[in-house]
Structure 1
Amino acid sequence: MPKTNLKLVFLVFLLFNTPVFAQQRVRLVDYINQIEKQYDLRFSYKDSDLLSQTILIPKNDLSLPEILNYLRSKTPFDYTVLDEQNIAIIAKTKTPDSICGRLMDRSGEPISEASIADLERNNSTISDKDGYFNLNGIDPNSILTISHLGYGEKPMAAAFFIQNKPCKTIYLEPKTEILEEVVVQNVLTSGIDIKSDGSVAIKTRQYGMLPGLIEPDVLQIVQRLPGIESINETVSSINIRGGTNDQNLILWDGIKMYQTGHFFGLISSINPYLTEEINVYKNGVSAQYGDGVSGMLDFKTIEKIPTKIKGGAGINLINADGFLQIPFSKKIGLQVSGRRSLNDFFSTPTYNEYFDRAFQDSKITTKNRLSANENFSSDENFIFYDVNAKLIFDFGARAKFSVNFFNLANTLSFRETIRSNSGDDNDDDDNQTRTSRLEQDNLAIGVDGKIKLNNRLNLHLNSYYTNYNLKAVNFDLLTDQRLDQKNEVLETEAKFVFEYLLNDQFSFRSGYEYIETGVTNIQLVNNPFFSSNIKNVLTEHSGFLEAELKSGFGTKITSGGRVSYIEDLDEWIFEPRINIYQKLTPAFSLQLMGELKHQTTTQTIDLQE
């Protein structure tokens, strides 16, 4: 018996008992479905392209990118990843085509003005009012981006639209974004605070520039506060709570101002670089203040003596200005500021616009009645300036005094000439020339003092003299008429206020104020002749008393009254005041304010009597 080869038998046994592994061919659509379930994603494709395609299933240990690379190499398609869960299957054959579709939201409303774009080929269109769109020359392999404001951006394969004809409806999802918190700190500009007495305090060193301005303007900021406006759209004419401008009490370091603007109201005359704080009162004013039935503006300049000389200067297309602070010693200092127009040196388009605005509808800007006469000529000159000075005496915590001065002026001259027909231009005797003038100025000087008598009793002294003048001479060449007008206000005031601090919660204020006001109005007309000279003088004595209570629960109550006696009218007037403030939260408070006020002078515009 032949010997059996054991090695050969063992090899044959292994061959017949080892399993044989072979790749399985399946439909491409079935394999795509398997990948969608395995990786939780979605493929977009044309069914007709994939129905006839088959593929050998690769090894199970391939990652998704490796599977996509395998499919690209084994099938006639491109696999474009749109996002983490969407992949487009696009045939590699490139045949230009046209597509159409309709865009709608989930509520069934059409989406118009949406953008449908092939960003790589710079080919785009927008949807019409019914949401339909058409786009020609589309490559089937393109990826279209559909976007609209308020909806999420949606990428889609162009092949999807080519397959689905007629036009397919596409639904866009609303886009929701969570915005970061926006905290509005400065509604108007910085440096504006509301005090517990209801007044608005404007810190000039902190407030910023308002839009459209080239430098800070205090009165521009005031007009943007609630309840304050200018009905004639000027800077210096301020209307508080519907009152007129002359119903405002305007104080500059305790001095009453009768003029607050240049260019007859278009530019503020208050120098912002030396003004430290402005307090705006619309109601509930302290009993120590009379006059101003509408509201009060209290301007306070810098009271601290500088340690060294400081100054500044500026120039714009209308005027030049500057200020200077000089310390003579640790106890004495001087502040000076000024401004002057520059139009007598050069004229600018800005100045011309202001000039036309200030004198619109006047004979200066409406010269047509004589412009047809070639022998008529005219020219005008306008100048304004303001000067402020303050001399400070600081004797430490016990006493502080200041002497304040200001002078504001506007001067306009308008010369008209009609030349004679003699032909001799040098014959001035036959030429008729008249110069009309308008001058407005306010000059004032005042003394203010604060004395600490002891730890509980303080004394405040204030006295001023102010002189306001408005002079006008108007000529009419056609009628040879001359009109002279003059308005003058002379006012003298003296006041003292005692403040007694009973404790940290309770205090008293009492005092006396003397005011003498004289008003003169003169009118003179030569043709026909008319003359009027009216002068009135009023002397007023006022006493006041008020108490202030503060609590640790955010409560502040100020209550008092003012009694005035007008000598010339032999009349007594009692004016109660009350101001109650309650703070509820750091951002919310309640306030009750009431006052009864009177004033003895008012402004009347010519021809409005």
Structure 2
Amino acid sequence: MKHFLCYFLFFTLGVFSQEKTSLKNALFQLSTKYKIQFSYKDSSVEKFKNISFNNSQSIDSILLSLSLQTQLVFEKIDNKNYVIRFLNTKKKSICAYVVSSKKHTKLPFVTVYYNAQNKYTNASGFFKIKNVISDGFITLSSVGYQSKTIAINTFTKECNIIVLEEEINYLNKIVITDYLTKGFLKKKDGSITLNSKKMGILPGVIEPDVLQSLQLIPGVHSPNETASGIHIRGSTPDQNLVIFDGMKMYHFSHFFGFISVFNPYITNQVKLYRSGTHAKYGNNVGGVLDISVDNPSLQKTTIGFGTTFTHSDFFIKTPLFKDKVGIVFSARRSITDFINSITYQKYSEVAFQNSKISEGLDDESLKIVNAKNNFYYEDYHTKVMVQPSQNSKISFSYLYNLNDLNFTGNTPNINQNFEDDIRIKNQGFRIDWKQGLLKNGIHQIGFTSTNFDKNYQGFRDRTLRNGNSEIANYGKENGVKEHSFEYLFEKLTTKNNSWQLGYQFHKYHVNYLFYREIPGDSNTINDLIDEQANSSAFFTEYQYNNKHNWLLNLGIRLQRFNKPSKSYLEPRLNVNYKLNKSLNVSFSTEVKHQSISQVVDFREDGLGGVFDRFWTLSNTQTFPVLKNTQISFGANYQKNNWTFDLEFYQKNIEGIVLLIDENIKSEKYYSGTNIVYGIDFLIKKQWNNYNTWVSYTWSNSQYQFKNLNNSNKFDGSYDIPHNFIWSHTYSKNKMQYSLGWRFRSGLPYTVKTAVQNKKNEGLKINFEDLNTERLSNYQRIDFSTAYKFYIGKKKKYNGVLGLTLQNLLNKRNILSKDYEIQTVIIEQGTSREEKQVLVETNSLSMGFVPNVMFRVNF
């Protein structure tokens, strides 16, 4: 009864709140109140003199009421314009070609809306619609172009040509085009974006690999030559936030770092933030790498496959249900377990150096027989997108990648059988829903789950002279499970300013196990860490534009970790001012915190330390929350094919942790600070088909730990004062060439000595002052070339054949220097004697490494 009374009261108030007026007067009131315009013929409107009109309702409700009373159609053209017309059953067929305004290039997959339906232009930019109401309208919409509405009665019997103007996006306007080469852009917010499909050839890069390509940018480098070992302005890889298709990545390489797990042929856009990150990015103190994946095509099927000397891959992008559902699937697998290519041999030589694998294969005294080295890697990615309506999208993404190594054999000289297993697996899943348009507001909700697992197990079974068996076990395990929820609201405000508001929740489970069991050895270790934690964050950001000269991003993030139970306020500011058409100046400052990071583990394992880092959560005792306070300012200039980019930066990172074997020092974990300051500089010039650029970074990285090195500052482990790259690219017809020279300072290292244990139980390592010595300078020359070709008269299929030569002069640089205690055999037989000695080991860079790539797309 109560519900009936409420409905009756609402209906009664609605009826009596209405007034009787003419349609023309009602339209005038609506135009004044909502600042909109109605287009109509007077004869269509003037006859309606007595209609019910309630000006207090929403505009949609009012127009619906008027339409029901008059049988007129109120057709919305855009937010400011409506057309009033009678229903018309007369129909016609129309067709047109859609082209861009600049070069009149044909635009495929442009959305054509009509009569609450839509279709798309084909690969030639053509569309045809049959039996459409002749006095209606169509609207054309495409990403990167301004929407256009056209009256159907303007179409002639011949197919029209419709020109779409490029969209002017003031929010992320580009300040430098072709930052290094084609496909690289620098935007006003300080980000550098990379489009792998448009990217030109780069020296030493066989495929448009994201991680390898970014290392040519000033301030980004990899001290150990790997794709995954990216340091961004002094921040180590674990301090950088790497996101792939909305999923945070805790491991992003194959072949122990040499190849990234991101298939470049399905990536859409890569955004790199060296500083000045947006408020939505959190729980990291370094740079940000945000990698998006192609959205599935709802109209056309695209297939590609290719191979190199290390792996083969395949991808497909296709609609499942036209206009509604599409899918992207990619698969990549190594060929290393059945083809022993020269590239695989060269990579293996570096990846396994100084480990038990290389020692057993190279050292005669440890000569291995019956050796089996089985290794392979693979990755898969699937993305399904559902578009139930024009303004709504739902996507499902799944990622899987694996590296698997099994090494077995026996060593007759010391009567030992062994087995080593390394398995690195990463899985991720994300479901994402977006609703709305930027001008009215976009709501986005996402759920993500990732699971990283890294496991090493080593087994040694040695037969002694007395016939007894001595078994040694080694192991390292590290796992991270993360589940997260995210809500983001984004809206354009007046004058193309924008506003963001969001919330994020993350739940973590991290475990780490290190064990070493050697009979008769006092250094037996069983170290277990198993913790859970969660974090939550509220953030908001406003972006302000002023007459295309000013761009200001002002954001704030309130980050809370439950371990330790504390909240952190993180202000973010990024300013860019355009002095003239060619010159921009910029400034940014930010505060960031991080609760999950990697710790360096110096302890020896049975394999020789193929991986020496593990993920761990912050706590109140051992591992503090990392904090970074960063500031940068600079200028960039582009005119007459010249490009200059200069930035100064300083960052102060607190909470860095080192782990040293408890038998070496009185303490186990050491926490300290890392201060980094430097200059990034780029100069580039292009002459027709020839392009050359120099990127240079000067930096200084200093560590300070309370109980190490007498609490004095010392050079950071990855301090590289000078990093210089000179690159060249040249293209002619279907050929491309690229040559590059890299030069940088050598890394610091610590001298170690051997001392006798107090109980005469053998030798132990003693650390001298940390990082007091430095390796020799590093340099290498790389070359790449590629030939693009087409198949068939209509050129529907295209392909590329590429060759790269890394380290053309075969210079073996020293990447790191370390020391370890080894047991050597002095004599054999009845006089057999074993002795412990301190051995210096150098990790060398890659020598000359060739690679070939063949690819076809259709």
TM-score of the superposed pair, with normalisation by structure 1: 0.65
Measure how far apart 1:446 and its partner are.
Answer: 0.8
Could you tell me which runs of 5 or more consecutive residues in structure 1 were left unpaired when the two chains were aligned: 1-183, 422-430
Q: Partner residue of 2:514?
A: 523
Report the Cα offset of residue 309 of structure 1: 2.1
Name which structure has the greater RCO, CA cutoff 8 Å, separation 6+. 2
Letter of the structure 2 residue corresponding to residue 333 of structure 1: G
Residue type of the alignment partner of 1:515: H
Kept in 2, the 8 Å contact 1:305–1:331? The answer is no
2:483 counterpart residue number: 492
8 A contact 1:247–1:294 mirrored in 2: yes
State the match for 1:541 in structure 2.
Answer: 536
Asked whether the 8 Å contact 1:505–1:551 carries over to 2, the reply is no
Match of 2:364 among 359, 364, 371: 371
Q: In structure 1, which of residues 576, 588, 596 is the aligned counterpart of residue 591 of structure 2?
A: 596
Task: Quote how far apart the aligned CAs of 1:358 are.
Answer: 1.2
- Residue equivalent to 2:325: 332
| 1:413 aligns to 2:397 (yes or no) | no
Q: Tell whether the 8 Å contact from 2:553 to 2:574 is kept in structure 1 after alignment.
A: yes
Higher strand share: 2
Residues 195 and 453 of structure 1: is their aligned pair in 2 closer, same or farther, counting only changes over 3 Å? closer
Q: Does 1:243 align with 2:235?
A: yes
- Match for residue 581 of structure 1 among 576, 582, 586: 576
Deviations 1:455-480 (A, max 9, x none): 52211222210011100012344563
Q: CA deviation at 1:520?
A: 0.1
Equivalent AA in structure 2 for residue 236 of structure 1: S
Q: Post-superposition shift, 1:410?
A: 0.8
SS in 2 for 1:221: helix
Q: Distance in 1 between matches of 2:538 and 2:438?
A: 23
Alignment-derived partner of residue 377 in structure 2: 384
Local SS of the residue matching 2:343: helix
Q: Which runs of 4+ in 1 moved over 6 A?
A: none
Quote the offset at 1:311 in angstroms. 0.9
CA contact (8 A) 1:259 1:408 kept: no
The letter for the 2-side match of 1:412 is: L
Alignment of 1:296 onto 2:276: no
Query: 1:62-141 to 2 correspondence within 5 Å?
Result: none
Q: Is the 8 A contact 2:454 2:479 kept in 1?
A: yes
Q: Could you tell me which of 330, 343, 350 is aligned with 2:336? A: 343
Q: Out of 355, 361, 373, which is 2:354 matched to?
A: 361
Matching residue of 1:68: none
TM-align CA RMSD: 2.2
Distance 1:456-1:361 versus aligned 2 partners, 3 A rule:
same
Given the superposition, is the C-alpha separation of residues 303 and 417 from structure 1 closer, same or farther in structure 2, using an over 3 Å criterion? same
Cα deviation for residue 453 of structure 1 reads 7.1
SS state at 2:358 partner: coil
Matches within 5 A, 1:139-538: 186=178, 188-329=180-321, 330-367=323-360, 371-372=364-365, 376-418=369-411, 433-452=417-436, 455-478=439-462, 480-528=471-519, 529-538=524-533
SS at match of 1:367: helix
Task: Kindly provide the CA deviation profile for residues 387-406 of structure 1, in whole angstroms up to 9, marking residues without a partner as x.
Answer: 11111112343111211111
Aligned length: 417
More deviation, 488-497/371-380 = 371-380
Q: In the TM superposition, what is the alpha-carbon distance from 1:532 to its structure 2 partner?
A: 2.5
The whole-number CA distance in structure 1 between the counterparts of 2:500 and 2:567 is 21
Query: Contact 1:380/1:414 (CA < 8 Å) preserved in 2?
Result: yes
**Counterpart amino acid of residue 195 in structure 2:** K
Letter in 1 for 2:472: Q
Percent identity of the aligned residues?
31
Show structure 2 runs of 5+ residues with no match.
1-175, 463-469, 603-657, 660-858
2:388 counterpart letter in structure 1 = F
Q: Does 1:568 align with 2:549?
A: no
Structure 1 residue 533: Cα displacement: 2.0
Name the amino acid aligned to 1:498: F
Contact 1:223 1:238 (C-alpha < 8 Å) held by counterparts: yes
- Quick one: distance in 2 between partners of 1:471 and 1:248? 23
* Inter-CA distance 600–209: structure 2 relative to 1 (3 Å threshold): same
Structure-2 change in CA distance of 1:197 and 1:540 (3 Å): same
Paired residues of 2:419 and 2:460 also in contact (CA < 8 A): no
Amino acid at match of 1:489: V
Secondary structure, counterpart of 1:413 in structure 2 = strand
Alpha-carbon distance in 1 for matches of 2:178, 2:270: 17
Work out whether residues 481 and 526 of structure 1, in 8 Å CA contact, stay in contact via their aligned partners in 2. Answer: yes
CA distance in 1, matches of 2:438, 2:583: 37
Contact 2:296–2:383, Cα closer than 8 Å, also in 1: no
- Could you say which structure has the larger radius of gyration? 1
How has the CA–CA distance of structure 1 residues 432 and 510 changed in structure 2, closer, same or farther, with 3 Å as cutoff? same
- Aligned residue for 2:595, secondary structure, equals coil
In the aligned structure 1, how far is the partner of 2:452 from the partner of 2:599? 15
**Residue 351 of structure 1: how far off its partner (Å):** 0.9
Are residues 553 and 343 of structure 1, via their aligned partners in 2, closer, same or farther at CA, if it must alter by over 3 Å? closer
Structure 2 residue matching 1:220: 3-state secondary structure? helix
